[in-house]
Amino acid sequence: MPLNTLREYAEALNSQQGIAQQIFAQKVNALNEKIDETAVEFKHTDKWEQGLQIAEKDIFSWSRGGKKQAYTPESLVNARIARDCANHIERESVAELLLLNTQHQAAISLAFLTHPDLFSKMVSEGKEGKIFGLVEMTDRLGPAIQPTGSSNYYAIKYTPYGIASRAAIGEEDDEKVQLVSATTAEASAKNLSRLFGVYYALAETSTAPRNDVPKSGRISGAYISTLEDSNIINTTMHEIPVLFRAKFDSIMRELMYFTLCDLYLK
């Protein structure tokens, strides 16, 4: 990626404009073309009828106990075609997808370093004792906001990947609460304040794309919560209907960056 493009991406991010769609556009277009071609192939062979029969059996099995289903046989076949095509491209183009995600990481890092107000505000607040903590399911935003001088504001960052690790770090375990929920995101933010004394907290809990089609039909997404001075400021829900994990990680990274900007520069 040319340096001028990287600078343009950083400027866009600091204007609260997402860049993940642009970075991954070529790969997504290739995926959509493959999905369309595969669907046409299925409908001109016996693969479509075979897929429908399997889908009908699966939906019947999943319906036991009166569970409401997210799919019709047709929509389940189409979802499986899309997932299989995405899996194929992720295997064949793993290096390229990783590089695109790395480019996004670089753009976020540059945006943070060149933002006219954010870094200086975090440093000045940190020197006043208003320190910052971060919780992410995967370490996406974290590396971008730890340049030289970050010790002035950074208290802790952790990346719990399940209920057991959250409990070990001090979050209360409630089996009735889903791991990906507003309640869990807020619990992480509050835990940062309670155990580590942070003044500002940014926490997310998210579900990334899987390499199969989930029975629930759930859409990948996240809950992001912010806290200031022991009080939850805001919690937002984001649906991220993408098939590539690398693109999901990039979108999450920029959503977290935008939320960080809002937390300090509101």
Give the model confidence (pLDDT) of 239-263 as tens digits. 999 999 999 999 999 999 999 999 9
pLDDT in tens, 189-203: 999 999 999 999 999
pLDDT at position 165 is: 73
- Residues 6 or more apart whose CB falls under 8 angstroms from that of 181 comprise 205, 223
Residue 67 has pLDDT above 80, yes or no: no
d(CA 246, CA 20): 10
Q: Rounded mean pLDDT of the chain?
A: 92
* CA separation for the pair 128, 144 (Å, rounded): 22
> Does 172 have pLDDT greater than 70?
no
Q: What percent of the chain has pLDDT over 70?
A: 95
More confident call, 174 vs 256: 256
Q: Which 3 state secondary structure label does DSSP give 25?
A: helix
Distance CA 174, CA 167 (A): 10
What confidence score (pLDDT) does residue 31 get?
97
Domains of the chain: 116-265 (3.90.950.20)
Edge-to-edge strand ranges of the sheet holding 200-207? 154-158, 132-135, 200-207, 221-228, 231-239
d(CA 80, CA 150): 45
List the beta strands (DSSP E) in 52-199: 132-135, 154-158
**Dihedral sign of CA atoms 49, 51, 54, 55 in order:** negative
